[in-house]
A and B are shown apart, each in its own frame.
Chain A
C-alpha cells in the first residue's frame, strides 16, 4: 500500500530543519548534497535516511520516488532497497515522497520522472545505496549500545546479531538511535551473486486493494466541499472558443459555474461529475476552428511522402558512403512503410483535483512525473513552486501520456483559480481523452538496399520522414535540427538503443515534418515504428535473396552478440527451422531499446477469408539484471497487448483538423479472444541495467507482419492491419 508521505505527519521537511544526519548518497541532480540531511526529529517515527523509515514494531517504510502505473517498479525498487537493507520483506511498506518535499530537500530522491523504462535502471544504484547506508547505521546503533565493534555484528531479516556473543536486537529497537548517527560515506553494494530478494519471483506489494475496489485512483478522490468539473477543448488543434451561451445551463440542477479555460476550452463545474458532463454536453459553444480546420490525414501524408526524397535531412547513423554503394550495386531492393497516429488510451482518463488559494495551490493527480506536475501547477497558478504541492495518485495507466505534458493539471488549476478555496476535481470524458491526446508520432520510411552479386547488402539507406516528439514537447533539446529520439533502435553501438546489424555502408537520416497533431511519448516511443521498418525490410531482403530470415540476420549480427543472443533464444524456443503446426507460419524480429535487448518470434495463421489468428509469441529479453522475473513476464505480456493493439487496430485519423476516433467503438484495442499465448525467455546476461516496460512492444508488430508474409506472401507496409486485406494473393 503506497501512501503519500505528506499524508502522514512529516517533520523536518525543509533543508533548514536539517539535524546532524547527513546521508552521503550520491543523487543525480542534487544541487547540494550536504543539504540532503533534512531529517525527522522529535516523537514522530524517525527516518534513517531519505529512503528508509523504520518503525518501533519493525515495520520498514521504503520511499519510492518513481510513479507506479502498473509496471511493477514500485515493488522492484522496494526489493532493491530491502536487499541492501537486509530487512524483513514481510514488514515492508512503501510511501511516495511528494514533489514539494523533494524540492525542499534539494532533490534528495532524485528524478521522479517515470518514463523511458527508466524507473529501475536509472535509480537502482542510489536506492540500493540508500538501503545499504541505512543498514550500516542500524548496525552501528546496535554496536554502540552493546559497546562492540560494528564489524562484529551482522544484519539479516531486520535482526542484528553480535556474532561473538549471539546477542540480538531488531531494527525497530535501534531505529531511533540510528537516525541520529552520521551516515557512512563509503558504502559498498552487494555482489549480484549474493542477492536474496533481487531476482526472485516476489509477489507485488500493491495487489490486495486492487481486487476489492479499495484502491484509490486519482478519479476516485473526494475532498470535503469538492466540486466536479467536465471540460471541452476545441476539437480542432489550434482552435479557440468564439462564444459560450453560459445562461443555457446555469439553471440546471447542481451546476455552479461555467469557466473559460485558456483561449480554447470551456469547463462546467457542478456538484457531481455526471451533472457537469451532461450540462457541458447541453452547453452551446461556438468555436473558431483556426488555421488547421482543413487539415486531414491525407494532407500531411503527402507532406511526409515528399520528405522521403527531400534533399535536406539530418543524419542519425552513417557508415561509409551508402548512397554510392547503393548506386554501384547491381541489384536494389526498395520499400516504403508508414505508421499512423495513435492514442495512449489509458483506461483511466486524464484527471486531477486542485485546491487554490492566493497562498497555496495543491494538486492531486495520477502522474508519471510529480515534479513536472508541480511545475505545471506553479505555472498555471502563478504561485512560486514552494507554495505549490502535488500529491501523486495511483495511475489507471500511463504509457507516456501522463509524463511529459500536464495539460490537464494546467486546466484544473485554471478552473480552481476561479473558485478559490473550493477543491475542484476535473475528469476528462473518454471522448475528450481521445480528441486531446499526445499522439504517437506519424512517420513514413523509405528503405533502400544495394545488393552485390551474391545477395549481400553493400549499402543500406533508411530515410525517415515525419514527426518529432521533442520539437513539440521539449524543443530546447533539438540541436542543429536533430531530434535524437527519432533514431531509437537505429543508433551506432551504445548502451541505450543501438542497431543490431553491421552494413558495409549505412545511412539513416530524418526529414522532419510536423503535422499540427500534438505528438507525445507513447509507450515504446519511436522504437515501435523504427523496428517495424527495419525488421520487415530485413525480412524483405532475406526473401528477395532467397535466404532464411534467421540465417540472413545472423550474418549481419556477428558484431552484435547481445542482440544475437536474444534472437537466438527466441528462435530456438519457438522451434525456428522445425515444422510449425499445420497452417501456422512464423516471423522474427529483434531490436534494442531502453537499454535492453529483445526479440520475438510470432506464430500466425491466416484463413482463406483473410482472418488473422496470432497463436503464440515467444519473446526473449535481456535487461542485464532481472529484478523480478514474474513481473518482467507480466510486462512482456502487456507489451504484446499494447503492441498488437497498435498493429491490429491502432489509428487516429484526422478529418477537418480533428481526430475522428472518439471512443473504443471506433478506436479498437486487443481483447481477450485475440490474445496469443506468450512465452517469455529472460536472458539476464548481467553487467548492465536495462528497462523492461517498453522494448518488447517494438517486436510485436514486425514479428507478426513477417509471419503474415510467410503465411500469405503479402507484405504489409502500412498499419493498422484492420485496413488491410490479408486474403492470399
Chain B
C-alpha cells in the first residue's frame, strides 16, 4: 500500500509505482475532475499542482510524487470559491468544460507566481489545449481574477441569476 498527500489528506492506494499520477487520481482515489486528454503531456487536461506548481499528471509516475503535496481541481477550494473559479463562473468560460479543470489549475498556478500576469506570461504559461475555443474568455478571466474579481471589466455583460450584469 502506497500513499499520497492529495488535497491536504494522506490517501492510501494500490497501484504499480510506474502508473501515471493521473490514473491513480482517477481510478484509485476517485478524483475524476482531472482529465485524460492525450497521455503525452501535450494537452494539459490532466494539470494538477505538485508543491504548488502546475504539472501534467499523465506522464508523472506516481512513485515520483510520493512525498509531495498534490492539489487537484477538487482541492483548489472547498466550494468553488477560489478567485480563478469565481472569475470562470462570472465570464461563463467553459463550453464543453472537459479541458477546464486543467486550464483552471494552470491559471491558478500562474497567478500565484505572477499576480498581475502580462499577455506574454499568460501565453507562455497557459499552453493547454481547448478544442471548443475558450481561449479568449480564459485570458479575460485570468485578468478578472488578477484584478480582484471585477468581472465588469471584461465587458461581456453576462446576466447571472440574482446578480446584476457582470
Q: Give the B-binding residues of A (Cβ under 8 A).
A: 69-72, 89-90, 200-204, 206-208, 210-217, 219-220, 222, 228, 253, 272-275, 345-349, 394-399, 427, 429-430, 630-631, 633-634, 637-642, 645, 663-665, 669-673, 675, 677-678
Contacts and interface: CB of A to CB of B under 8 A. Distances in A.
A71 B165 CA distance: 22
B92 A630 contact: yes
Given A396-B98, A641-B130, A673-B123, A663 B74 contact: no
B39 A212 contact: no
A23 to B, nearest CB: 28
Contact of A70 (B35, B74, B94): B94
B132 interface: yes
Nearest to B123: A673
Nearest to A92: B161
Given A70-B95, A347-B98, A397-B96, A201 B127 contact: no
B33 A397 contact: no
B89 A675 contact: no
B130 A396 contact: no
17 contacts: A203-B92, A207-B93, A213-B32, A219-B36, A222-B32, A274-B19, A347-B35, A348-B35, A396-B96, A397-B96, A631-B92, A637-B135, A638-B134, A641-B131, A664-B42, A665-B42, A671-B128
Given A640-B133, A664-B40, 10 more contacts: A201-B156, A210-B100, A212-B80, A397-B96, A397-B98, A642-B133, A669-B129, A671-B129, A673-B124, A675-B139
Contacts of B34: 213
B159 A203 contact: yes
A638 B80 contact: no
A203 B132 contact: no
B15 to A, nearest CB: 8
Nearest to A347: B98
Nearest to A638: B133
B130 A211 contact: no
Interface in B109-142: 122-124, 126-139
Contact of A211 (B27, B35, B37, B80): B80
Secondary structure of the B side of the interface?
loop
Contact of B156 (A212, A630, A665, A670): A630
A219 B94 CA distance: 18
A398 B95 CA distance: 11
Given A210-B100, A274-B19, A347 B131 contact: yes
Interface residues on B, range: 35 or more
A-B pairs, 6 with minimum CB distance: A213-B33, A638-B133, A641-B133, A70-B96, A396-B98, A70-B95
Given A208-B89, A217-B98, A672-B139, A663 B133 contact: no
A678 B139 CA distance: 13
B97 A215 contact: yes
Interface in B84-113: 85, 88-89, 92-101, 104
Interface string B18-44: 011001001110111111111110110
Contacts of B60: none
A639 B165 CA distance: 26
A637 B139 CA distance: 13
